[in-house]
Amino acid sequence: MPDTPSAPLLLGNQPGSFPHSVLAERHPAIIKQVREAFPYEPGQHRALDELLANCTGGEIEPLPADAHDRDHWETWGLGEYTGRSWFDVPWLWSESWFYRRLLQAVGYFGPGPWQGVDPFRPFKLAELDSTETDEELAALDDLVGRPAAEQAQALLHGSLWGNRADLGFRLSAEGARAADAAPGLVADDSDRLWSLLDKAGGTLYLVADNAGRELVPDLLLIAHLLRSGRIGQAVLHVKPYPYYVSDATTADVVDALRRLTGAGGAAAAYGRHLWSALGDGRLTLRAHPFSSAPLPYAEMPGDLRADFAAATLTIVKGDLNYRRLVGDRLWDPTTPFADVATCFPGPVAALRTLKSDVITGLDAHTEAALVAAEEQRWRTSGTHALIQVRDAP
């Protein structure tokens, strides 16, 4: 990004900051929740205790010599950061490292009887099986018979708002009115997004964020675009292993499809269509190692870059993917989105609810209204969202 003024990398070493609260408070809470969700054995309890002490007051330690992904992490900066405080290295790196170490502590990578057991699965299934999900899936029946464009816009907003998907199944999200003092939708390039998909038969890539009630509307959007012929193929990028508590893996996609097909009504029809699309190749899953890397997309490897370059449009979902797309930096909110998303090799759209300090692409009036209404809480509250598009590299 040679023409874009730099901004400071986000670190976790400033008490009172959002990154510091994640490292000092959220991560210990996650360890406690995971510990209580499974009947882990004494060795796993000891490893979790050691991780708690290390991530809150210790230094970054190397991986075991026989770790299956040691070479990846050495490439991703482990050698540089070993011996430093978790709070003094880039926040994105520390967060990712925490989840890698948590999986190691519970035996996810094996060998042993706990190999491959997702420590976050109980939380994902509870959300997927909730009455709120029932209500959201039943709301799909109200879309049947509406014009395809209206259905597409409603499902786009469902994907955008994730666990506020009930807003998305209506044609306009609550808080998105231009007259609001602090609008819910702070940037809306949806017209540009649809224009990129105007050539019927193109290929949509979608980089998933969360499982459960946030993955379901992503799948529904893909299903609608395939059924309507607006796209001919979809590629869904998921994580290769459990990550950030709720990030979607292949197993989570299967769980979501089973939830859809068992729901009845329009939801079941969408689920059957997706099941069939996976079987005939119109929908493909990817789980690239870099999807769980502690790095921005600017540092993606060549094979992944070539993959994304083949897409008619790539939609990156969620807060973490946004941070990876624009760089995990404290940008001035009015920095143009297109200027900081230049690393991506093809047309890209970001769908994101705001849950961290990173933000770009706002106009000055919108930023001023948000600050006047909420000071800086609007950056992390999850009550605001954006749709931003960069047409070409």
Check pLDDT > 80 for residue 183. no
Position 182 scores a pLDDT of 58
Amino acid identity, position 355: K
Question: Which among 278, 314, 310 is positioned nearest to 197, based on CA atoms?
Answer: 314
Q: Where are the beta strands (DSSP E) in the chain?
A: 185-188, 202-207, 231-237, 283-286, 313-317, 348-353, 385-390
Summarised one tens digit per residue, pLDDT across range 77-134 is 999 999 999 999 999 999 999 999 999 999 999 999 999 999 999 999 999 999 989 9
- When pLDDT is averaged across residues 152-160 and rounded to a whole number, the result is 92
- Give the pLDDT confidence of 243-260 residue by residue, as tens digits: 999 999 999 999 999 999
**Residue 149 confidence (pLDDT) above 90:** no
d(CA 373, CA 98): 34
Q: At a CB cut-off of 8 Å and minimum separation 6, what does 280 contact?
A: none
pLDDT of residue 4: 55
* Mean pLDDT score, 366-379: 93
Q: Specify the pLDDT at position 75.
A: 96
- Kindly state the average pLDDT of the residues 148-176: 62
Q: What rounded mean pLDDT belongs to the chain?
A: 91
Residue 171 has what pLDDT? 27
pLDDT at 342 over 90: yes
Taking 70 as the threshold, does the pLDDT of residue 174 lie above it?
A: no
> Which pLDDT value is given to residue 5?
57
DSSP string covering 186-224, please?
EEE-HHHHHHHT-STTEEEEEE--BSTTTHHHHHHHHHH
User: Looking at residue 359, what is its pLDDT?
Assistant: 96
Mean pLDDT of all residues in 189-196: 95
Which residue has better confidence, 30 or 199? 30
C-alpha atoms less than 13 angstroms from C-alpha of 18 in its C-beta half-sphere: 16
Could you tell me the pLDDT band of residue 144, with boundaries at 50, 70 and 90? confident
pLDDT tens digits for range 271-280:
999 999 999 9
CA 26, CA 22: separation in Å to the nearest integer?
Answer: 5
C-alpha 137/C-alpha 148 separation (Å) is 18
Taking residue 304's Cβ as centre, other Cβ atoms within 10 Å add up to 18
Calculate the alpha carbon distances from 239 to 7, 62, 104, 269 in Å. 28, 23, 16, 26
